[in-house]
Amino acid sequence: MEDLQKWIEVDAYITKQLLPADETLENVLEANSKAGLPAIDVAPNQAKFLHLLALIKGAKRILEIGTLGGYSTIWLARALPADGRLITLESEVYHADVAKSNIASAGLSNLVEVRIGPALETLPKLHDEGVGPFDFIFIDADKQNNSEYVKWALKLSRKGTVIIGDNVVRKGEVVNASSTDSNVQGIRCFFDTLASESQLSSTAIQTVGSKGYDGFAIGVVL
């Protein structure tokens, strides 16, 4: 508990020092809380990290798997050029409605499309429509299906596409092969897929912060 408090303090310091006050994003988090959405949005400093990765990549087309209230969606969409496009997939209608309202309040409805339905149904539709390839793909949905999500991400990618998977350490439980937690087993399967895909060069980083002990995976399509 002492470690967590220190991590929270450090995150708060980083945010204060490097992230200017942003009423729009603060309102999004407040709207999500009032709507009763779970408080599982990425932390502000990690959200900006995603934003910077998309900027570094020069992404014009972004795919997000898992919208929730649109907090990370807005951060990523802000990295797009005026002619860019972001498609975000959300399985829950209520969450999607909250996200759409937040995205509109952020003035980004012209860049962002929210698609509703289970991602394993919407991803094949994107592929059939020829929507891709995407430059940057962020996977942050139900962990049990992460392995399938990355397989679809590869189908919607091109050489150089960046693929990020969030929450891949699970407080260190990712090393527990006998875990009965379906999220842990989903992430272990995800790592197996990353390791077996020869067209993807990947690594993962452990993180600590206001959201606890976790981590993310990052890969580049070769």
Residue 137: per-residue pLDDT: 98
Residue 2: per-residue pLDDT: 64
What is the tally of helices (H) and strands (E) in the chain?
A: 8, 7
Residue 11: per-residue pLDDT: 96
Helix (H) or strand (E) run with residue 206 in it? strand 200-209
Q: What is the mean pLDDT of residues 203-210?
A: 96
| Residue 210 near residue 197, CB atoms below 8 Å | no
Q: Looking at residue 106, which CATH number applies to its domain?
A: 3.40.50.150
| Residue 103 near residue 109, CB atoms below 8 Å | yes
How many domains are contained in the chain? Answer: 1
Residue 210: per-residue pLDDT: 94
Task: Give the chain's mean pLDDT.
Answer: 97
Strands (E), 10-151: 61-65, 85-90, 112-116, 136-139
Token match 């289970």: residue? 118
Residue 54: per-residue pLDDT: 98
| Residue 145 near residue 120, CB atoms below 8 Å | yes
Checking if the pLDDT of 1 tops 60, the result is no
| Residue 156 near residue 181, CB atoms below 8 Å | no
- Which pLDDT tens digit goes with each residue over 137-183? 999 999 999 999 999 999 999 999 999 999 999 999 999 999 999 99
Cα separation values, 172 from 3, 72, 83, 196, 218, Å: 15, 24, 40, 22, 18
Token match 């990690």: residue? 46
Q: What is the mean pLDDT of residues 77-90?
A: 98
Residue 132: per-residue pLDDT: 86
Q: What is the mean pLDDT of residues 16-36?
A: 97
Domain that holds residue 90: 2-221
